[in-house]
Amino acid sequence: MSGIKTLGQFIIEKQADFPYAKGELSRLLRDIGIASKIVNREVNKAGLVDILGDADTINIQGEGQKKLDVYANEQFISALTSGGECCIVASEEEDDFVRIESPVSKNARYIVCIDPLDGSSNIDINVTVGTIFSIYRRKSTEGPATLDDVLQKGTEQVAAGYVIYGSSTMMVYTTGKGVNGFTLDPSIGEFCLSHPNMKIPEDGVIYSINEGNYVHFPEGVKKYIKYAQVEDKATNRPYTSRYIGAMAADIHRSLIKGGIYMYPTTSASPKGKLRLLYECNPMAFIIEQAGGIASDGLNRILDIEPTELHQRVAIFVGSPKMVKKAEEFMAEFSPVEKLSEKTVEIKTA
């Protein structure tokens, strides 16, 4: 056979990295791969069938759902239900976590957190969208899995990945032993290893942020953006600005080319906009595994203790040199510091 290695073959080969594992995680990844191929099929013909546009429903986040948000959510839950390895799915599109109670999942011990369709506002205009997922092991096997099993820190992830439905369709994932990327070959209907052992460049020249929110950004972010725009040949500035509006795609670009992606707090979203469980933790795990950094501007994303299912958080993620620089600005101008300065002012007045 040719030198092609399919996702299925790769997963089986990597099973040897986990000698005590029974293949459940591999089967879970396989199920996610299958659902993503079904979603890919619909995304690719979205303009031809009645699947574009709004679903006329609102999710728990208060965001209008697209028909494809709903469709992708159903496909992933259905694949994870019939696969038998998942006991709970926590989805961005569901108000509460979904407990999987089928005869085949009786002994299932994995939790999947998922953003079934990321960047869904791109779908109507034929621009890249994605899927982001994160996998945890249940804390205990006693009784039914609970919310406590879902609310684990990002450091507890056993695997995470994303799929981007772009000019080609790719799945990128990690099980904590590096990052590998697979491109869907439509002629054989298989994800094939195309980007082995992915490493993010140490530095980059692309910054990615929704600059329309500029006036609402914290001072540290405003200062970083100005820094990015100043001419300085020694540090390759001014940087280039790029923003697709689908986190998975924007971070994928950083992973390949180097760069920083930021979604800070704003006055409209004082806790940040992106979701810790479905978006930030999985992308942070992948980027760290590729040699990058992911923080909320001051603290490592993976160390944040989740307290609620749909928790939001600020994120600065990408090439280590760029994220460290942005963190320097955040530390210098953080509200915490400002608050203490203010306290001093009040005390001395």
Ligand X SMILES: O=P(O)(O)OC[C@H]1O[C@](O)(COP(=O)(O)O)[C@@H](O)[C@@H]1O
From the annotation, which residues make up the binding site? 92, 115, 117-121, 210, 243, 273, 279
For residues 191 and 59, what is the distance between their CA atoms, to the nearest angstrom?
A: 31
The two tokens of residue 179 are: 């990052």
For residues 171 and 162, what is the distance between their CA atoms, to the nearest angstrom?
A: 6
State the nearest-atom distance from the C-beta of 283 to Mg ion, in Å: 10
State the nearest-atom distance from the C-beta of 158 to Mg ion, in Å: 21
Closer by beta carbon to Mg ion, 69 or else 85:
69
Task: Report the binding-site residues for Mg(2+).
Answer: 92, 115, 117-118, 279
**Residue selected from 146, 210, 240, 311 as contacting ligand X according to rule CB under 6 A:** 210
- Ranges within 155-184 binding Mg ion (CB under 5 A): none
What is the dihedral angle through the alpha carbons of 124, 266, 253, 70, rounded to the nearest 10 degrees?
-40
Instruction: Please identify, among the stretches 27-35, 103-111, 112-120, 284-292, the one whose residues bind ligand X according to the rule CB under 6 A.
Output: 112-120
Nearest C-alpha neighbor of 304 from the set 316, 293, 295: 295
- Ranges within 84-103 binding Mg ion (CB under 5 A): 92
- Ranges within 267-296 binding ligand X (CB under 6 A): 273
Judged by beta carbon distances under 5 to 8 A according to partner kind, the member of Mg ion, ligand X, none in contact with residue 246 is: ligand X
State the nearest-atom distance from the C-beta of 342 to Mg ion, in Å: 35
CB 277 within 8 Å of CB 136: no
For residues 94 and 86, what is the distance between their CA atoms, to the nearest angstrom?
A: 16
State the nearest-atom distance from the C-beta of 248 to Mg ion, in Å: 7
State the nearest-atom distance from the C-beta of 129 to ligand X, in Å: 8
Closer by beta carbon to Mg ion, 117 or else 286:
117
Judged by beta carbon distances under 5 to 8 A according to partner kind, the member of ligand X, Mg ion, none in contact with residue 176 is: none
Q: Decide: is 250 part of the binding site for Mg ion (CB under 5 A).
A: no
For residues 277 and 287, what is the distance between their CA atoms, to the nearest angstrom?
A: 15
The two tokens of residue 41 are: 């099929």
State the nearest-atom distance from the C-beta of 105 to ligand X, in Å: 26
State the nearest-atom distance from the C-beta of 227 to Mg ion, in Å: 28
Q: Decide: is 190 part of the binding site for Mg ion (CB under 5 A).
A: no
Instruction: Please identify, among the stretches 37-45, 108-116, 207-215, 287-295, the one whose residues bind Mg ion according to the rule CB under 5 A.
Output: 108-116
**Residue selected from 83, 84, 119, 318 as contacting ligand X according to rule CB under 6 A:** 119
Nearby residues of 44 by Cβ (< 8 Å), 6 or more positions away: 165
Nearest C-alpha neighbor of 86 from the set 109, 120, 69, 103: 109
User: Order of strands across the sheet with 159-165?
Assistant: 98-99, 86-91, 110-118, 129-137, 159-165, 169-174, 179-185, 190-195
Cis peptide before 282 (omega within 30 of 0): no
**Residue selected from 31, 115, 149, 327 as contacting ligand X according to rule CB under 6 A:** 115
Q: Decide: is 118 part of the binding site for Mg ion (CB under 5 A).
A: yes
The three-point CA angle 209-214-218 to 5° equals 95
Segments of the chain assigned E as strands: 54-58, 64-66, 86-91, 98-99, 110-118, 129-137, 159-165, 169-174, 179-185, 190-195, 206-208, 240-241, 260-263, 274-275, 293-295, 312-313, 315-318
Closer by beta carbon to ligand X, 97 or else 261:
261
CB 195 within 8 Å of CB 181: yes
- Ranges within 231-250 binding ligand X (CB under 6 A): 245-247, 250
* Binding region for ligand X (CB under 6 A): 63, 92, 115, 118-120, 210, 245-247, 250, 273
* Binding region for Mg ion (CB under 5 A): 92, 115, 117-118
